[in-house]
Structure 1
Amino acid sequence: MVSASDNMRAAGLMTLAMACFTLNDTCMKAVSDEIPIGQALFIRGGMSGVVIGIWAYATGALRLHMGTRNSVLVGLRTLGEVLAAYFFISALFNMPLANATAILQALPLVVTLAGALFMGEPLGWRRIAAILVGFVGVMLIVRPGPEGFNIYALFALAAVLSVTLRDLVTRGLTEDVPSLSVAFYASVGVMVLGLVLSPLDPWQSMSVKAMLQITGSSLLIIGGYILSIEVMRIGEIGFVAPFRYTGMLWALAMGFIVFGEWPAFPTMLGASIVVATGIYTFYRERKVSRLQLAEQCSVAPAQPDNVALHSDHAEQPGE
C-alpha cells in the first residue's frame, strides 16, 4: 500500500518533473532567436537519444525486437511524439510560453474523452460536464476571433491531439516493453524530424549561448523523464496527477522572468478553468476507481490481508 509519505515525496518529484519540462521549453523558446526549428529538434533529439540509448543499453532495457504488435504500437507512439514535438515547438517559437503551456493543460481532459470514445472506458456525466467546461476554458485561451488570436494556438491544439494519440497507444503496450526503449525510439524519431525539416530552413551557426541553451534543453527533458518514471513507481496516480498542473505556474514564472510576457486576463481565466476541471476529472476518476474496487471486494471471496493489499496497489495504474 502506498503511504502518505510516499505520496508526498512523489508529489514533490512531479513538481520537479514539471519544472524540468517547462525549463526545457524555456530553453527551446530562447534558442529560437538563433536557430530554426529543424536544427533545434535535430540537436535536442540527438543529444537526448544518445544519453537515453546508453542508459537503456547499460541497464539491459534496450529492445530491438518487441514482437509485431508492440513494434507497431511503438511506431505509432513515436509518430505521435514526433507530431507533438513539431506542433508544440512551432507554437512555442511563435507565441508566449504561458499561452502554449495553458493550451497543453487540456491534455488530461482530451485523453479522458478519447479513452471513452475509442477504448470504451467508462465516463459518467460529471466528468463529461467537466470536460465540456474545460473546453470552454480552452476557447478563452485560444480566442478564435480577429482580436487576440494567434494561428499558432491551433498548432498547440494539434500538439494536444498528437499527445493524446501517443498516450492512448502507450496503454496498449505490454508490460515487458521497457520505458527506456520507448523513450529512445521517441528521441530518435524527433531527431529524424529535425533532419527532414532542415532543408526548409538552412542551419545557422550557433553562439556559445545557443549551444548552452540547447544542451540545457536536452538535459532537462531527460531529467523530467527520469523524475516522471520515479513518480509512477512510488506514488498513487490519483493523488500525484494533479501536481502536473504546477507546470502552468512554472510557465507563468519563466515567461515573465525570461521573456517579459504575462498572459491577458482571458488567457488566465481560461487556464484557471482548464486546470480546475482537470483536477476535478482526476478526483472523479480516483473516486470511481475506488468505488469499483470496493464493489469487487464486497462480492469476492475473503482473501488474506496481504493479497487484498496487493490487489489495491495493482488497480492504481488504471486510475
Structure 2
Amino acid sequence: MRGALFMMGAMCAYTVNDAFMKALSDEIPLFQAIFFRGVGAVIFLALMCRVLGQLRFRFAVRDWGFLLLRTAGELGGTFFFLTALFNMPIANVSAILQVLPLSVSLAAALFLGEALGWRRLTAIFVGFVGVILIIQPGGADFSIYSLYAVGAVACITMRDIAVRRMSREVPSVFVALVAAVGVTCLGGVGSLFINWQPFTVTSGLQLAGAMSFLIFGYIASVSAMRSGEIGFVAPFRYTSLLVALVLGVLVFGEWPNALALAGGAVVVATGLFTLYRETQLKVRHSVVPDRVR
C-alpha cells in the first residue's frame, strides 16, 4: 500500500508539473522553459547523487552505450511531449502516453526476445486502436500535435528498453542525472535560436512549481518501485490520466470529446490487462521450479 501511495503521488506530481509547463507556454518559449527547468533538476540530482554516493563514472563501455541511448530517448521524448503539451489538451496528451506499458511490452518482445503470448499481443493491438480513437486522424478534432505525442511514446519506449539492457551497476539516480544534463543541453542549444522572453512573477512561480513537482515526482516514483511489488504498484500510474482530466477542466477549460474519452478508457483497460498477465506469468514461473524440486 505504501508503494501504491508513492506511485499515485508520483503520477499526481508529474501531471501537475505538466500543467505548470503548459501554463508557462503562454509567456516562455519551449526551449527556454526546458533549459531553466533542467538547470534546477540537474542541481538537485547532482546533490542527490553526491549524498547517496552514486556520483561515479567507471562503468563498462556497454553500459555507457545504453546510457547514451537512454539519454537520446529522453531528449526526444521531452521535445515531442512538451511540444504536444503546449499545443493540445493536457488530458489528450496524457491519454496517449498511457499506451507506454503496451509499447514497452511489444518492443521488449521484438528487440529483447521476451515472451509475448497471443492474449497480451491482442491487448496491445486493441490498445493501439484506442490511441487512434484519441488521435482521430482525418476528423474535425485531429491535431498534427497528436503525432508529436506518439513520437514521445516511441522515444520513451526506446529509453525504457535501454534501461532494461543496462546492468545494475549503474545507479538509478546517476542515470536520471545524465538524462537531465542531456535535456538541459537540448534546451540550451535550442534557446540559441529563439528570442528569450523575460520572466514575470507569474511565469517565475510557474517554473518553480514545475521544478518542484518534477523533483517530488522523481523521488516518489523511485520510492514506489522500492516499496512494493511492481505488479501491484504499476497500475496506479493511471492516476495521471484522472488528474489530467481534472486539471484540464479546472485550469484550462478543456474536455476531451467522447471518442477521445473512449480511446483513453480502451488504452487504460488494455494496459491493466497486460500488467495483470505479466504478474500472473511471473507468479507461474516462480512456482513451477519449486514444484519440480
TM-score range, shorter chain: over 0.9
- Give the aligned partner of residue 284 of structure 2: 291
Give the residue type in structure 2 aligned to 1:20: A
State whether structure 2 residue 160 is matched by structure 1 residue 189.
Answer: no
String of CA shifts for 1:123-155, please: whole Å, max 9, x gaps: 111101111111110000001114211000000
Within a 5 Å distance, the mapping from 1:1-319 to structure 2 comes to 8-300=1-293
Q: 1:31-63: per-residue Cα shift (whole Å, max 9, x none)?
A: 000010000000011110111101111221112
The aligned amino acid for 2:46 is: G
- Partner secondary structure for residue 294 of structure 1: helix
- What stretches of structure 1 of length at least 5 have no aligned partner? 1-7, 301-319
How many Å separate the matches in 2 of 1:80 and 1:209?
31
| Distance (Å, rounded) in 2 between the aligned partners of 1:205 and 1:156 | 28
8 Å contact from structure 1 (residues 95, 152) kept in 2: yes
Which shifted more, 239-248 or 196-205? 196-205
Deviation at 1:105, TM superposition (A): 0.4
Structure 1 residue runs of 4 or more that deviate by more than 4 Å after TM superposition: none
Question: What CA distance in whole angstroms lies between the structure 2 residues aligned with 1:119 and 1:277?
Answer: 22
Q: 2:32 & 2:291 partners in 1: Cα distance?
A: 58
For 1:116, give the aligned amino acid: A
Name which of structure 1's ranges 188-197 and 62-71 shifts more when overlaid on structure 2. 62-71
* CA distance in 2 between partners of 1:290 and 1:42 (Å): 44
Structure 2 residue aligned with 1:313: none
Q: What amino acid maps onto 2:17 in structure 1?
A: N
- Per-residue CA deviation, residues 166-198 of structure 1 (Å, 9 max, x unaligned), is 000001111121111001111111101101211
SS of 2:192 mapped into structure 1? helix
Scaled by the length of structure 1, the TM-score of the pair is 0.90
**Which of the two has higher C-alpha Rg?**
1
Q: How many Å separate the matches in 1 of 2:209 and 2:117?
A: 43
Between stretches 289-298 and 90-99, larger displacement belongs to 289-298
Indicate the SS of the match to 1:200: coil
Q: Residue type matched to 1:86 in 2?
A: F
Runs of 5+ in structure 2 lacking a partner?
none
CA distance in 2, matches of 1:219, 1:262: 27
Deviations 1:291-316 (A, max 9, x none): 1111122123xxxxxxxxxxxxxxxx
Question: Equivalents in 1 of 2:102, 2:186: separation in Å?
Answer: 28
Deviation (angstroms), 1:200: 3.1
Does structure 2 conserve the Cα–Cα contact (< 8 Å) formed by 1:92 and 1:100?
Answer: yes
Distance in 2 (alpha carbons) for counterparts of 1:242 and 1:168: 19
Write the distance in 2 (CA, Å) between the matches of 1:250 and 1:26: 10
**Which residue type is aligned with residue 202 of structure 2?**
K
**Given the two structures, how large is their TM-score scaled by the length of structure 2?**
0.98
* Maintained 8 Å contact 1:115/1:168: yes
Partner SS, residue 165 of structure 2: coil
Count of equivalent residues: 293
Deviations 1:44-95 (A, max 9, x none): 1111011110111122111223221111111111110011000000000000
Q: Per the alignment, in what secondary structure is the counterpart of residue 202 of structure 1? A: coil
Structure 1 residue 29 displacement after superposition: 0.2
In 1, Cα distance between the equivalents of 2:161 and 2:292?
31
Q: Distance in 2 between matches of 1:249 and 1:200?
A: 36
